[in-house]
Structure 1
């Protein structure tokens, strides 16, 4: 696991107060929303703000690509790497 992916997982857990979830519980290619981790639209807003603040990347809430970027830890990691 790369440091970025581990940091993203820790950020997800911390930001969303996922008390019963550890970094090892989140799979890199697991869906973050609905199936998989089970996050919802409010979680997406909170997570988006935390990612924007932590990694200093611009997230366009109106972009069709944003949903794809937030689909898994792998896609978030790729998005952050490409937009730093």
Structure 2
């Protein structure tokens, strides 16, 4: 259940954005499902996460993106997607 630095930072942002008072960022398993998993997050929480990503990382997660199931599959999936978007925009 080891998190990378980027995953820990993202987890901290999620905990803050969703006011998860009983959860510490380092307790979020990077491979556990984000939605419907141990955190009990739902589609409304996914919208809040998407808004937080837009504010913190400077790009939009679109509701009609066919990759959303994979993107929101886990902390690792979301973190990997953010890193891909950030490195892609740095090259542009």
Query: What's the TM-score, normalizing by structure 2?
Result: 0.84
| One of 19, 23, 30 as aligned partner of 2:25 | 23
Q: Aligned residue for 1:56?
A: 58
Q: How does 1:31-42 map to 2 (within 5 A)?
A: 31-42=33-44
Contiguous gaps of at least 5 residues in structure 1: none
In structure 1, what is the Cα distance between the partners aligned to 2:5 and 2:59? 17
Q: Aligned residue for 1:43?
A: 45
Quote the RMSD (CA, aligned, Å): 1.1
Residues 50 and 60 in structure 2, CA contact (< 8 A), matched pair in contact too: no
Q: Secondary structure at the match of 2:67?
A: helix
Work out which of the two has the higher radius of gyration on C-alpha atoms and give 1 or 2. 2
Query: What's the TM-score, normalizing by structure 1?
Result: 0.92
Q: Secondary structure at the match of 2:38?
A: coil
Count the aligned residue pairs.
Answer: 84
Contiguous gaps of at least 5 residues in structure 2: 87-92
In structure 2, what is the Cα distance between the partners aligned to 1:67 and 1:9? 18
In structure 1, what is the Cα distance between the partners aligned to 2:27 and 2:4? 15
